């Protein structure tokens, strides 16, 4: 197993390099970089913001700038060069990519272009919101889907199995953002009830509340976002649980246990459960990381939650490259580590699984 883990870790290096290289190459052809945005703000002061923290000055007028930036005519060429230097665009692309990877190997992700904060501190600041959504969504999905999947397996082919399958498939077909909007309309003061808050993760004056009040307020705010994110995950996990149990129930050892006179409950939870839950439990790390990365983006926007999904969206729009590439590197690395943990979890739950013999 040690050799297998070492091979997987070594495989992460070229995989990470490939991910970063492809995205870096794509960015080179994307219009509207940070230098272009500063030029646009100079040409249209009404649209300028105070997010730019870089220094460097120049004066409008004078000789036309000899650059390819749209709207740069009339700006001092030295000013354009100074902007390029501040953002690191005065170096060739290969040199910039190599320098970026070298810094990332040392976990130095630089500072945001538009905020006076390092990328790491910015991620840590936004992470609690996304972790909360991912963790509670995963737990809710498992707590509902596993009992439901077991019940459907036991009552396979019955009316209960048919109508619950219809419900979970319809839930899977509804996009998460559409379900989120529906929840807002019906339960957050849109047109009907105002039982839940419209936005945010906590209420005003949260710091002044007692601990019980903080807990209640937290779950009051997070209820609708978690429900909106969970709805699409119910179908996959429920059907996975059902099929896993059906596969085990039809095996020879179950028939032998019945022949010995064991009760159906004893067979189901004493023998079938452990074997059938292997694939479901081992997939927990992967399910959490999947929801954590991909599920929170639109939900955070709909419910005005300031998490990593919203941060990534704004960073791409603003061409905040240190945040874009820093989060890409960290999340890619985290995803591969969690995938390795998922594989090791299979072995821990069922020692009969041997990845090394399969690769041989």
Residue range 177-200, pLDDT digits in tens: 788 888 888 887 666 777 888 777
- 60 has pLDDT over 50: no
Phi, psi of 188 (to 5 degrees): -125, 35
First to last CA, the chain: 12
Cβ neighbour number for residue 99 with a 10 Å cutoff = 12
- Per-residue pLDDT tens digits for 207-261: 888 888 889 988 888 888 888 888 877 888 888 888 888 888 888 888 888 888 8
Residue 59 is predicted with a pLDDT of 32
Q: What is the pLDDT of residue 21?
A: 92
Domains of the chain, first to last: 2-119 (no CATH), 120-353 (1.10.3720.10)
The pLDDT value recorded for residue 353 is 63
Query: Whole-prediction pTM value?
Result: 0.72
pLDDT score, position 15: 92
| Better pLDDT: 107 or 43 | 107
Segment 12-34 mean pLDDT = 84
Q: Residue 329 and residue 116: Cα distance in Å, rounded?
A: 21
pLDDT at 54 > cutoff 60: no
47 — pLDDT class (breaks 50, 70, 90) = low
Query: Which residues are 111's β-sheet partners?
Result: 118
> What is the CB neighbour count within 10 angstroms for residue 262?
15
- Considering 7-21, 86-100, 302-316, the range whose residues carry the highest mean pLDDT is 7-21
How much of the chain is in helix, strand and coil states, percent to nearest 5?
Answer: 70, 0, 25
pLDDT for res 345: 74
Residue 310 has pLDDT above 60, yes or no: yes
| pLDDT given for residue 338 in this prediction | 80
Mean pLDDT of 50-58: 39
CA-CA distance, 157 to 342, in Å (whole number)?
Answer: 32
pLDDT surpasses 70 at 157? yes
- Other CB atoms within 10 Å distance of the CB of residue 168: 25
The DSSP bridge partners found for residue 60 are: 75
pLDDT (tens digit per residue) in 111-153: 888 788 889 999 888 888 888 888 888 888 888 888 898 899 8
- Alpha carbon of 187 to those of 157, 182, 183: distances in Å? 35, 8, 6
SS3 sequence of 109-138: CCECCCCCCEHHHHHHHHHHHHHHHHHHHH
- Give the pLDDT band (50/70/90) at residue 56: very low
Task: Using the predicted structure, report yes or no on whether residue 58 has a pLDDT greater than 60.
Answer: no
**Structure token digits, residue 154:** 């036991």
Residue 71 has pLDDT above 60, yes or no: no
Tokens 């779950």 correspond to 219
Query: CA 4, CA 355: separation in Å to the nearest integer?
Result: 7
More confident site: 282 or 315: 315
Packing angle between helix 176-187 and helix 211-230, nearest 10 degrees? 130
Residue written as tokens 């130095």? 108
Please tell me which of 24-38, 265-279, 288-302 the model is most confident about, judged by mean pLDDT. 265-279
CA-to-CA dists, residue 206 to 103, 213, 219, 353, angstroms: 39, 9, 13, 49
* Structure tokens that stand for 330 in this block: 């960290």
User: Are 35 and 67 contacting, i.e. CB atoms less than 8 angstroms apart?
Assistant: no
To the nearest 10°, report the CA torsion of 17, 329, 312, 116: -120
Structure tokens at 194: 């105002």
Burial of 241 from C-beta contacts in 10 A (0-12 / 13-18 / 19+): buried
């Amino acid at each position: 197993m040690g050799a297998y883990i070492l091979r997987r870790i070594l495989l992460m290096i070229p995989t990470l390099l490939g991910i970063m290289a492809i995205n870096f190459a794509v960015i080179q052809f994307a219009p509207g970089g940070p230098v272009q945005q500063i030029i646009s703000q100079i040409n249209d002061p009404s649209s300028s913001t105070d997010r730019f923290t870089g220094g460097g000055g120049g004066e409008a007028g004078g000789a036309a700038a000899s650059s390819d930036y749209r709207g740069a005519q009339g700006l001092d060429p030295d000013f354009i060069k100074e902007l390029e230097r501040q953002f690191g665009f005065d170096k060739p692309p290969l040199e910039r990519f190599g320098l970026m990877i070298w810094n990332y190997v040392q976990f130095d992700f630089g500072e945001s272009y538009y905020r006076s904060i390092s990328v790491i501190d910015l991620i840590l600041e936004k992470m609690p919101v996304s972790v909360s959504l991912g963790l509670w969504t995963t737990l809710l999905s498992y707590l509902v889907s596993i009992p439901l999947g077991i019940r459907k397996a036991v009552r396979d082919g019955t009316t209960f199995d048919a109508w619950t399958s219809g419900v979970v498939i319809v839930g899977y077909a509804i996009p998460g953002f559409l379900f989120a909007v529906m929840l807002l309309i019906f339960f957050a003061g849109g047109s009907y009830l105002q039982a839940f808050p419209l936005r945010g993760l906590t209420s005003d004056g949260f710091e002044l509340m007692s601990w019980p009040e903080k807990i209640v307020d937290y779950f009051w705010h997070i209820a609708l976002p978690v429900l909106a994110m969970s709805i699409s995950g119910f179908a996959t996990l429920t059907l996975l649980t059902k099929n896993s149990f059906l596969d085990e129930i039809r095996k020879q050892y179950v028939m032998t246990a019945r022949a010995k006179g064991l009760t159906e409950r004893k067979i189901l939870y004493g023998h079938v459960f452990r074997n059938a839950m292997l694939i479901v439990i081992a997939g927990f790390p992967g399910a959490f990381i999947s929801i954590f990365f991909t599920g929170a983006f639109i939900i955070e926007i709909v419910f005005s939650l300031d998490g990593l999904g919203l941060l990534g969206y704004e960073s791409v729009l603003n061409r905040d490259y240190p945040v874009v590439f820093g989060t890409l590197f960290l999340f890619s690395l985290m995803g591969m580590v969690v995938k390795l943990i998922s594989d090791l979890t299979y072995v821990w739950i069922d020692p009969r699984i041997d990845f090394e013999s399969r690769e041989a």
